[in-house]
Amino acid sequence: MSASKKKNIRELTAEEITEFFQSHQEKTFRSKQVYEWLWQKSAHSFDAMSNLPKTLRELLSEHFSIDAAEVSDTQKSKDGTVKNAFKLYDGNIVEGVLIPTDDRMTACISSQVGCSLTCKFCATGKLERIRNLSAGEIYDQVALLRKQSEEIHNVPLTNIVYMGMGEPLLNYANMLRSTERICSPDGLNMSPQRITVSTAGIAKMIKKLGDDQVKFNLALSLHAANDVKRSQIMPINDQNSLEVLAEALQYFYAKTGTRVTFEYIVFDGFNDTLEDAAELAAFCKVVPCKVNIIEYNPVEGTGFINAKADRLDRFKDFLEARRIIVNVRRSRGKDIDAACGQLANKNMLKKVTS
């Protein structure tokens, strides 16, 4: 069978792998072994499946591929942050980041090659969306970053955030299957409560998360709590206004009971006044929530800079005075372009801007 016609075996369910073995008169218990190699042991080749007979490995190799992601480049920040370029089977590149803090070790992973949403402050928004990542490619980032966490920092991976390149809810099926494989006992066996999926705000897909009663956390990249300002920096707000998003979030909470996180980058001179804070406080009444205030990291050509420290503190104090839970997320990995909003493979960005 030619390589171009081989099916990616990680697109198959355990039952479909069992059916394959049955059709080739092989013992069906082998399917469980293969599934464990793929999703527990993160095998990237059939030759690595050492408890399978050679003839069986050859049969699998004849019919299937494992379209795996591999680390092609790594940069280490002075603060311990590690940024990786992951090379995909077709040569495309996405980035993922390992972020150490005092109480957690977080993997920030990508869901698409590029992005279609053109958020004005985001480096990835300058790229075209080339394609969605498969569930296996999303899973690979977590498995590889988990390995790095143990090798570099000698601590286990504790948290996963879908906050890298791309919009996870525009790759819904693969995003959802990746979380299932990451959390399943026959996968990486991580808790869904340790996973946060971040969206720029696709209302109908937020409702679908509720219908699917997902167990992971949801974060909304808000960054402005009035439609005029939000549409200026996030064109998706034109079709997904704050009113529409509020309804979707209420639906999500009613279905899941999960508190929502609002992410809010405070830009200097744009959304950093007490009036902006008051609008955010009003939006926080929509659904049980907390607010993550995020330091902005400079992205060339955007014209945005981080709010001054005193204005950020006033903004935070205003919210806390209204009994809103607020965390300030300090930038990590700025020196290697690994911080929030900075992920964009430089070679890809050159193609877009040249």
Within a domain: residue 12? yes
pLDDT exceeds 80 at position 140: yes
Q: Look up residue 25 and give its two tokens.
A: 């008169």
Residue 257 has pLDDT above 90, yes or no: yes
Query: Residue holding tokens 């991976």?
Result: 157
Domain boundary among 65, 82, 109: 65
Domain that holds residue 54: 3-65
- Residue 11, pLDDT > 70, answer yes
* Mean pLDDT, residues 254-260 taken together: 98
Same domain, 27 and 105: no
Residue 95 annotated as catalytic: yes
One domain, residues 126 and 241 = yes
Residue owning tokens 């804070």: 277
Give the whole-angstrom CA distance, residue 284 versus residue 70: 40
18 in the same domain as 130: no
Give residue 329's pLDDT: 82
Asked if residue 76 belongs to a domain, the reply is no
Q: Are strands 82-87 and 93-100 parallel, antiparallel or unpaired?
A: antiparallel
Residue 337 pLDDT greater than 50, yes or no? yes
Buried b (16+ CB within 10 A) or exposed e, 226-260: beebbbebbebbeebebebbeebbbbbbebbebeb
Which has the closest alpha carbon to 294: 259, 255, 261? 261
Rounded to 5°, the CA angle 198-204-209 comes to 55
Of 95, 137, 263, 295, the active-site residue reads 95
**pLDDT tops 60 at residue 342:** no
The pLDDT tens digits of the residues spanning 167-223 come to: 999 999 999 999 999 999 999 999 999 999 999 999 999 999 999 999 999 999 999
Among 211, 209, 212, 228, residue whose Cα is nearest residue 220: 209
pTM: 0.91
What is the rounded distance in angstroms from the CA atom of residue 314 to the CA atom of residue 47?
58
pLDDT of 240: 97
Query: What is the structure's pLDDT at 236?
Result: 96
Q: Read off the tokens for 26.
A: 């092989």
Please give the pLDDT value at position 126: 77
**pLDDT score of 20 more than 50:** yes
Say which CATH number the domain at 36 has: 1.10.150.530
Residue 240 is assigned to a structural domain of this protein: yes
In this structure, the answer to whether residues 18 and 113 fall within a common structural domain is no
| pLDDT of res. 4 | 52
Q: Looking at the predicted structure, is the pLDDT value of residue 333 above 90?
A: no
What does pLDDT average to over the chain? 91
Identify the pLDDT of residue 316.
97
- Split at pLDDT 50, 70, 90, the class of 299 is confident
pLDDT of residue 35: 96
Same domain, yes or no: 13 and 112: no
Q: What is the pLDDT of residue 335?
A: 55
Question: What is the band of 349 on the pLDDT scale with cuts at 50, 70, 90?
Answer: very low
Catalytic residue selected from 115, 119, 289, 340: 340
Q: Is the model more confident about 340 or about 103?
A: 103
Element containing residue 82 per DSSP (H, E): strand 82-87
**Co-location of 103 and 55 in the same domain:** no
Mean pLDDT computed over 91-119: 93
183 is catalytic: no
Q: What percent of the chain has pLDDT over 90?
A: 81
Q: How confident is the model at residue 347 (pLDDT cuts 50, 70, 90)?
A: very low
CATH number assigned to the domain comprising residue 194: 3.20.20.70
Best CA proximity match to 295, nearest among 322, 316, 317, 274: 316
Residue 80 has pLDDT above 90, yes or no: no
DSSP state of 267: B
Number of domains in the chain: 2
pLDDT tens, position by position, 148-179: 999 999 999 999 999 999 999 999 999 999 99
- 76/116 Cα distance (integer angstroms): 28
pLDDT reading at 340 higher than 80: no
163 and 59, same structural domain? no
Let me know whether 208 and 322 are in one domain: yes
- Based on the fold, state whether residues 18 and 136 are members of the same structural domain: no
Shared domain check, 151 and 30: no
Whether 224 and 156 share a structural domain? yes
Residue with tokens 């059916």: 19
The enclosing H or E element of 19 equals: helix 14-23
Task: Examine residue 70 and state whether it is found in any structural domain, yes or no.
Answer: no
Q: Please give the Cα distance from 80 to 273 (Å, whole number).
A: 33
Which CA distances in Å does 116 have to 45, 110, 113, 165, 285?
Answer: 32, 14, 10, 10, 30
Are residues 60 and 100 both part of a single domain? no
Report the pLDDT averaged over residues 95-103. Answer: 92
Q: Which of 65, 85, 102 represents a domain boundary (last residue)?
A: 65
Residue 183 backbone zone (phi > 0: left; psi -120 to 50: alpha; other: beta)? alpha
